[in-house]
Amino acid sequence: MKKIGMLTSGGDCQALNATMRGVVKGLCSNVDEIEIYGFYEGYKGLIYGNYRMLSSRDFSGILTKGGTILGSSRQPFKLMRVPDEDGLDKVEAMKHTYYKLNLDCLVILGGNGTQKTANLLREEGLNVIHLPKTIDNDIYGTDMTFGFQSAVDIATNVIDCIHTTADSHRRVFIVEIMGHKVGWLTLHAGIAGGADVILLPEIPYDIDKICNAIEQRSKAGKGFTILAVAEGAISKEDAMLSKKEYKKKLANRKQPAVSYEIAEKIRERTGMDIRVTVPGHMQRGGGPDPYDRVLSTRLGAAAAKQILKGKYGVMIGMVNGESKPVPLEEVAGKLKAVDPESSIIKEARDIGISFGD
């Protein structure tokens, strides 16, 4: 008999359901008796004992379904050691629920913050396996996270649609793409969508260089320009500020997002007609694309294999096309950023894409 707990934490994305399905199918195909406990709303369910026993039927027909059948919530890692408003010790509460159910393992699906808490639970003696979820693709130790490619598809489609209206009205369009502190999603969607300028957090921009790239296109007879801008894009001036100074500046920002700030500066310098499109959370919505269905199924099956072996304390990553257990202690708390000197950046520059630097 195997007793497994499962939870999805942090922001939702495509393929969470598909990944849980992969775990359950991998276990049910190899174990006669299994109990699966699903915790609702991520770590909150584990803390407050909000769960129910699930059967293999609950995971049938969800390969293509977006979101998460268990629900999710954000429980910041930095607050995990801080008692709740009633004085409850969250870590001890999670351990209590784990031991009360006599679980063999917790399967935890989530991003960087979720991973850090998973590692904390490992340090507290619990058997855990982490599965890397995020549209940001910023989890260290895996080449790819599930949800990323589906979000790339959506963001690329937005840029594709913008092309026609930008061309018709001969305008400059800025498409702001999600990604938190890294630019993987913006980089891939920008290249796939044929953006002319791509601005990433890893490559601080010079507004004059951006304006120059736009004006050069105009002189070449190109009637429009499309900028793919990461939500965390930062100017060279701001990149020189301390974290504290930059946070204070963001708090006093008059514009709702970086894209509007960039648009205003371009308009001031060039007099051009600028439009901003922010697709926002739709990038995390909908069902997983075929790539993510395959990836999540493989990661889920690999997690099941680790559970059957009784080997815990790992993240299941995808490394060089192969699923691989990676020790949580080696990856938790680390961020995978875009390397400004990587071949993909150089190749994008080779075809004329400007990174505003």
Active site members: 136
User: In sequence order, which residues have a C-beta less than 8 Å from that of residue 319 and are 6 or more positions away?
Assistant: 141, 142, 143, 326
Q: Which two tokens stand for residue 232?
A: 């965390």
**Which one, of 115, 35, 55, 47, lies nearest residue 81 by Cα?**
47
Amino acid found at 232: G
Q: Which two tokens stand for residue 133?
A: 């979820």
Query: How many whole angstroms from its chain centre is CA 111?
Result: 6
First to last CA, the chain: 58
- Integer CA distances (angstroms), 103 to 9, 106, 158, 210, 306, in order: 19, 7, 44, 55, 15
Give 66-114 as a DSSP string.
Answer: -S-TT------GGGTTS--TT---HHHHHHHHHHHTT-SEEEEEE-HHH
Assign 119 to helix, strand or coil.
helix
Q: Which two tokens stand for residue 119?
A: 């590692």
User: In sequence order, which residues have a C-beta less than 8 Å from that of residue 17 and are 6 or more positions away?
Assistant: 59, 62, 63, 65, 66, 67, 68, 69
Q: DSSP label at 199? A: E
The percent of the chain in helix, strand and coil, each rounded to the nearest 5, is 45, 20, 35
Strand 2-8: give its sheet, edge to edge: 51-54, 34-39, 2-8, 105-110, 128-132, 314-319, 322-327
